[in-house]
Amino acid sequence: MNKTIKIILLIVFTGIIGIGFYAYTSFNGVPWKKAQVAKELERYIEDQYNTDVEVVDKFYNFKFDHYGAEFKGTHDETEFIFRAEKTFRGINDYYIEGLWEWQLREVAEPIVHDYIERLSIDDYSFLYLGGIAKDLNIQPDDIPHYTEVDSQLDLIIHLDYVWDEQNKENGLDGAYSFIKELKNNGVESVNLMIVSQWREEGHTYTLKVKPGELKNIQTRSDVENYLFLQ
């Protein structure tokens, strides 16, 4: 193999590696940058909230081109996972929102598990609205319990069947019992959604109860006021 061919092969090989590296980093970010940003976020959060946190994962959001990390934190003996990210506008941390989510989760998740078979639950999720703590002007040294503010937390339950007119009555029985159990355990400040499977033909029902309105459900028939056809 002559020298010219070797040079051409080297250039081609180098180009392939370069293209592969670019494609990888475009979707996954640069490893050293992930570590650098995670460390920066860790220092920021520990200074901001006067606490120790632990990095449990690092990520790169290729859609918005920014880096971030997931952390484990502790607040008043509650261990929780939260996210923080560094964007071109600065640092966004969801320490408070993550804490609120886990305060809700600690009480509500065992109840959800108890109703998996009775409600035919396929999946569920606890969600928070990123930035709501900032909007509410919550201070790092004075974080209230999620029930004391308009924390805008969601509990979304997905059923494994189509909730239609024929099986609505059984669904209402289970939903009413589930809501009573939540209320008996102090869970009211939550946006509750129970969503059935979608179908192309005909209507299905979705139960939507906004934060603070669970207290209005006193009887089984009250649940029907929060049913929506879709």
DSSP line for 97-127: HHHHHHHHHHHHHHHHHHTHHHHTEEEEEEE
- The reported pLDDT for the residue numbered 4 is 60
pLDDT by residue (tens digit) across 202-220?
678 899 999 889 999 999 9
What does the pLDDT look like over 97-106, one tens digit per residue? Answer: 999 999 999 9
Q: Which two tokens stand for residue 105?
A: 């989760």
Give the model's confidence band at 185: pLDDT under 50 very low, under 70 low, under 90 confident, else very high. Answer: very high
Mean pLDDT on 143-169: 91
Q: What is the pTM of this model?
A: 0.83
Q: Considering only 11-25, 118-132, 145-159, 171-185, which range has the smallest mean pLDDT? A: 11-25
How far, in Å, CA of 44 to CA of 50, rounded?
Answer: 10
pLDDT category at 178 given cuts 50, 70, 90 is very high
CA distance 103 to 143: 12
Q: What is the pLDDT of residues 105-121, one digit of tens each?
A: 999 999 999 999 999 99
Average pLDDT, the chain: 85
Looking at residue 5, what is its pLDDT?
55
On the CB side of 149, how many CA atoms lie within 13 Å of its CA? 20
| pLDDT at residue 7 greater than cutoff 70 | no
